[in-house]
Amino acid sequence: MAEFSPDCIFCKIIKGEANSRKIYEDEKILAILDIVPRFAEGQCLIIPKRHVEYFYDLNDDEVARLFKVVKIVANKIEQAFGRGNVAMLARGRTVSHAHIILFPSTGESVLDKFMDSMRAYRILLTEKSSNEDLGFMWEKLTGASSG
């Protein structure tokens, strides 16, 4: 896997070819303030410096380092915004470079409102997954057979 991708905006930021507002940096990870904070003011991106498209393609050491930095930046967000919760996403649809999105969870963010609507929906639904559905999902995830 290539260290950098010439068309990747995160790789350009890591190499200093594009501007960013750094929150944290070490030899393996960069954390920056997101210029398009879709979820909340203070949203940050934690990015491995090696270009990897999918989170699950990071090696174990990279994942460990990435989440150490997630904790560091989460603490910075909490100290700066003092809202009690920091939300985390690992989605990566807008940039094909693995990254974690962290943001203060205010109770008023888009994600908070979505989660509230999902809780309300589940309360109205009041239906748990059937044992058969759970068995099917478990078999898909584990490769085991419920026999």
Per cent of the chain over pLDDT 90 is 47
Q: Which token pair is 36?
A: 């398009």
pLDDT in tens, 5-28: 889 999 999 999 999 999 999 999
Per cent of the chain over pLDDT 70 is 80
Contact 99, 73 (CB under 8 A): no
Contact 34, 20 (CB under 8 A): no
Burial 34-65 (b: 16+ CB within 10 A, else e): beebebbebbbbbbbbbbbeebeebeeebeeb
Indicate the residue type of 70: V
Where does the pLDDT of residue 1 fall: very low under 50, low under 70, confident under 90, or very high at 90 and above?
very low
- What pLDDT is stored for residue 133 in this prediction? 82
d(CA 97, CA 11): 8
- What pLDDT is stored for residue 125 in this prediction? 56
pLDDT in tens, 32-83: 999 988 888 899 999 999 999 988 899 999 999 999 999 999 999 999 987 6
pLDDT exceeds cutoff 70 at 130: yes
pLDDT in tens, 75-108: 999 999 876 788 898 876 778 899 999 988 876 6
Specify whether 99 is catalytic.
yes
- What pLDDT is stored for residue 132 in this prediction? 87
- What pLDDT is stored for residue 30 in this prediction? 97
Sheet containing 29-33, strands listed edge to edge, beginning at the edge strand earlier in sequence: 22-25, 29-33, 44-48, 100-104, 86-89
Q: Among the options 30, 42, 99, 103, which is catalytic?
A: 99
pTM over 0.75: yes
Residue 39 CB contacts under 8 Å (≥ 6 apart), including other chains: 87, 89, 101, 103, 109, 110, 111
pLDDT exceeds cutoff 70 at 109: no
Structural domains of the chain, ranges and CATH numbers in brackets: 1-106 (3.30.428.10), 107-147 (no CATH)
User: What does the DSSP assignment read for 96-116?
Assistant: SS--EEEEE--SSSHHHHHHH
